């Protein structure tokens, strides 16, 4: 392998921007309708133009793909659908040559039941049975667990007369992290990928690895932070690696622990509160006030004490413009720009989910088009629900929305593949696609480029403190950020003002824009005035 990979400079957490690739749906290079590693290599030019620093790939390990790769059968091999280990090494090397790092997804809470460990456990090997959470009937009766994907979280194995725990699909068996051998295996997996030149890791549902049986709690268990610190020391710690934990259950105190600036755990975590998906995500609606309160709490609570991730979407979430913004054709682009500005001018590390930079949207799903195990299970479990309401929920929340193929151009397969894709394309690729937006300077794609460049250019975006103004106003988002240059003493103030409604609205803080302020970015042409147009947003910089 290329020796220079290991010597590329560490990626700087303060300024880095991460792009999430869902490899199955990014680019197909071999005409089988499924994206692959060589497809990603072909699109490195696009990613370089966008200006991102790190590519998070959702799992590409060998997997039966019941849960699209989050059911790992072998952490050391690449699934043949995606390519080979040699192609992966080539991707790492090609990306490094462009100054881009690769972030691997570590699925440490569970394995596929096709993993060798589980196969050996079923064959009766006690060493591997102790890798998983096998329990007898009395224990299971006393500890009922509902799977996150629906149904009983315990699966009976007749030949062992025992049950194994699966918090997700029955094909995803939970590992027992209280067993030190399991923790050592995971450190070994990470070290294997570090040696290949990987620059970052995303830890899948990591807050679930320590379980608390007395409270029947599957997340935030008593040993959670001990286990993460141990893993940090045994693998990625102190090596300039960017890490992010997926933690649905993290409150501010946990977030401070996880992202402690002393580097003992992760660089940051994903907290999902701002999405408003709540307890019953299927019937949830976006609430701008809840968004603002969550952002205010996290931005203030982690300033100097931890680090935020900043994101609007991922492969499990609705398309950002459909969830937060207004995806009707006349407003789609301007509202997607607004939300990009709101997120990218805050403190933390922005994550862009593939297609978000084009304003890709949710779509309307027919039952036979669904591919996601969660949506399919949910649909099957909701026979009581009014079918029209069920359809609305799947259209608004279903994870397949984020998994339709990347819209590269207006051609019949959107430039994604030469064959029929594994999942249906969104018809709107005719209008919404990368080719059109790269050629048009005022497109959403170029707005994202500009936001990434601004983060690199302005220390106030990287380091400034954050004050949300009018936190209880549901129609506007306004915030102020301040940073003083320790060398020159100059004070920099950034002011973000955004009208969240489709009506013109007076912006009360517009009078804080001083004479001589620089308009850093705007989603409307021309000079802004105190009354903002629908979904108008502006970012100003003032230096004294």
What residues line the site for ligand GLC (CB under 6 A)?
Answer: 67, 70, 107, 168, 204-205, 246, 315-316
Q: At closest approach, how far in Å is the CB of 159 from ligand GLC?
A: 26
Q: Which of 28, 53, 71, 246 is catalytic?
A: 246
* Euclidean distance between CA atoms 152 and 169, whole angstroms: 10
* Euclidean distance between CA atoms 244 and 13, whole angstroms: 11
Question: What tokens does 497 get?
Answer: 């003002």
Q: How remote is the C-alpha of 141 from its chain's centroid?
A: 36
Q: Which is nearer to ligand GLC, 54 or 205 (CB)?
A: 205
Go through 289-301 and write b for each residue having 16 or more CB atoms within 10 A of its CB, e for each that does not.
ebbbbbbbbbbbb
The residues, ordered by sequence, that sit 6+ positions from 339 with a Cβ below 8 Å of its Cβ are: 312, 320, 321, 324, 325
188 is catalytic: no
In three-state form (DSSP H/G/I as H, E/B as E, the rest C), the secondary structure along 356-376 is HHHCCCCCCCCHHHCCCHHHH
Own/partner pairs, 509-515, CB within 8 angstroms, 24+ separation: 509/469, 509/470, 509/478, 512/480, 513/540, 513/542, 514/542
Phi, psi of 223 (to 5 degrees): -100, 5
According to DSSP, residue 62 is labeled E
Q: Which residue is nearest to ligand GLC (CB)?
A: 70
Q: Which of 36, 204, 357, 372 is catalytic?
A: 204
Q: At closest approach, how far in Å is the CB of 270 from ligand GLC?
A: 9
204 is catalytic: yes
Question: What tokens does 399 get?
Answer: 């994870």
**Parallel/antiparallel/unpaired status of strands 476-484 and 465-469:** antiparallel
According to DSSP, residue 267 is labeled S
* Euclidean distance between CA atoms 252 and 406, whole angstroms: 34
**Parallel/antiparallel/unpaired status of strands 172-174 and 110-112:** antiparallel
Residues with active-site annotation: 204, 246
């Amino acid at each position: 392998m290329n020796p220079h990979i290991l010597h590329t400079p560490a990626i700087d957490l303060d300024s880095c921007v991460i792009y999430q690739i869902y490899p199955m749906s990014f680019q197909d290079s071999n005409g089988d309708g499924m994206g692959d590693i060589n497809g990603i290599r072909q699109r490195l030019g696009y990613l370089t133009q966008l200006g991102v620093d790190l590519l998070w790939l959702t799992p590409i390990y060998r997997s039966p793909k019941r849960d699209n790769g989050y059911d790992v059968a072998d952490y050391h091999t690449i699934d043949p659908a995606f390519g080979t280990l040699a192609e992966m090494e080539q991707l790492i090397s090609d990306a490094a040559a462009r100054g881009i790092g690769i972030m691997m997804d570590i699925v440490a809470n569970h394995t596929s039941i096709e993993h060798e460990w589980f196969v050996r456990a079923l064959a009766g090997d006690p060493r591997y049975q102790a890798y998983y959470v096998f329990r007898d009937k009395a224990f299971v009766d006393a500890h009922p667990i509902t799977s996150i994907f629906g149904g009983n979280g315990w699966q009976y194995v007749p030949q062992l007369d025992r049950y194994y725990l699966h918090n997700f699909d029955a094909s995803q068996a939970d590992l027992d992290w209280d067993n030190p051998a399991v923790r050592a295996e995971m450190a070994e997996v990470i070290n294997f990928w570090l040696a290949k030149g990987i620059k970052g890791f995303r830890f899948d549902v990591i807050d679930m690895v320590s379980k608390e049986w007395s409270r029947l709690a599957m997340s935030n268990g008593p040993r959670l932070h001990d286990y993460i610190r141990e893993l940090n020391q045994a693998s990625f710690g102190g090596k300039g690696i960017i890490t992010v934990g997926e933690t649905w259950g993290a409150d501010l105190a946990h977030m401070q622990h996880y992202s402690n600036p002393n580097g003992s755990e992760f660089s940051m975590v994903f907290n999902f509160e701002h999405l408003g998906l709540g307890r019953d995500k299927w019937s949830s609606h976006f609430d701008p006030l809840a968004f603002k309160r969550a952002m205010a709490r996290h931005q203030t609570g982690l300033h100097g004490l931890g680090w935020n991730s900043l994101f609007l979407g991922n492969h499990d979430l609705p398309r950002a413009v459909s969830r937060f913004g207004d995806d009707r054709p006349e407003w789609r682009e301007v509202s997607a720009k607004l939300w990009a500005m709101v997120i990218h001018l805050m403190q933390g590390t922005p994550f862009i989910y593939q297609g978000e930079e084009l304003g890709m949207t949710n779509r309307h799903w027919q039952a036979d088009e669904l591919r996601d195990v969660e949506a399919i299970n949910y649909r099957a479990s909701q026979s009581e629900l009014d079918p029209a309401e069920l359809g609305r929920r799947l259209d608004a929340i279903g994870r397949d929305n984020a998994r339709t193929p990347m819209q590269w151009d207006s051609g019949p397969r959107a430039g994604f593949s030469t064959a029929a894709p594994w999942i249906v394309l969104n018809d709107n690729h005719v209008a919404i696609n990368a080719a059109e937006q790269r050629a048009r300077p005022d497109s959403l794609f170029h707005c994202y480029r500009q936001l990434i460049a601004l983060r690199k250019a302005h220390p106030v975006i990287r380091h400034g403190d954050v004050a949300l103004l009018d936190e209880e106003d549901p129609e506007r988002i306004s915030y102020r950020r301040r940073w003083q240059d320790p060398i020159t003493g100059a004070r920099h103030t950034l002011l973000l003002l955004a009208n969240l409604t489709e009506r013109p609205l007076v912006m009360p803080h517009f009078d804080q824009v001083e004479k001589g302020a620089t308009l850093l970015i705007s989603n409307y042409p021309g000079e802004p005035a105190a009354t903002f147009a629908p979904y108008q947003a502006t970012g100003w910089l003032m230096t004294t």
